């Protein structure tokens, strides 16, 4: 798993521990679930729900660019850019950017959890589709 320099070291270690435990048992132990809730607060449970619903898809293009699409609890599709730590959801704008109350929203946390657990849905797109997505001119 790649290091995400904007997350605290404790969060990085937590994702590594989740990855190891999930590889061994296909479950996240209770102590790691408690740690997840402690580190990320109320969005942890919401993110786990998104993971359970298989709501995260990694879009990748032949040029190697990646973006993640997450279907939110309301059914709305959010395109998250983990490489620059961005989600267009209102919670990210308000809680993370405006109030600085947490490092991420439930959508980005769901992406990290899916990556750690290796359960991310995969979809290939053309470079043209990825360019349109990245520029905001056409949703996929």
User: For residue range 52-99, what is the model confidence (pLDDT) as tens digits?
Assistant: 999 999 999 999 999 999 999 889 999 998 877 889 999 999 888 888
Residue 14 to residue 40: CA distance in whole angstroms: 11
Residue 101 to residue 42: CA distance in whole angstroms: 11
For residue 99, the number of C-alpha atoms closer than 13 Å in the C-beta half-sphere is 10
pLDDT band at 119 (very low <50, low <70, confident <90, very high): very high
Q: Give the DSSP H/E element, type plus range, for residue 109.
A: helix 106-117
The answer to whether residue 140 is domain-embedded is no
The answer to whether residue 83 is domain-embedded is yes
The answer to whether residue 94 is domain-embedded is yes
pLDDT band at 138 (very low <50, low <70, confident <90, very high): low
pLDDT of residue 78: 94
The answer to whether residue 4 is domain-embedded is no
Per-residue model confidence as pLDDT tens digits over 7-25 = 678 888 999 999 999 999 9
The pTM (predicted TM-score) of the whole model is 0.87
* Token pair listed for 2: 């790649």
């Amino acid at each position: 798993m790649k290091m995400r320099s904007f997350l605290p070291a404790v969060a990085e270690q937590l994702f590594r521990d989740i990855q190891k435990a999930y590889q061994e048992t296909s479950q996240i132990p209770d102590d790691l679930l408690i740690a997840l809730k402690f580190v990320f607060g109320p969005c942890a449970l919401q993110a786990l729900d998104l993971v359970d619903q298989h709501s995260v898809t990694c879009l990748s293009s032949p040029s190697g660019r990646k973006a993640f699409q997450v279907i939110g609890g309301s059914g709305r599709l959010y395109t998250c850019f983990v490489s620059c730590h961005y989600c267009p959801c209102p919670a990210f704008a308000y809680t993370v950017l405006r109030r600085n109350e947490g490092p991420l929203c439930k959508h980005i946390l769901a992406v990290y959890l899916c990556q750690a657990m290796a359960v991310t849905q995969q979809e290939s797109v053309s470079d043209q589709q990825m360019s349109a997505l990245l520029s905001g001119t056409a949703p996929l």
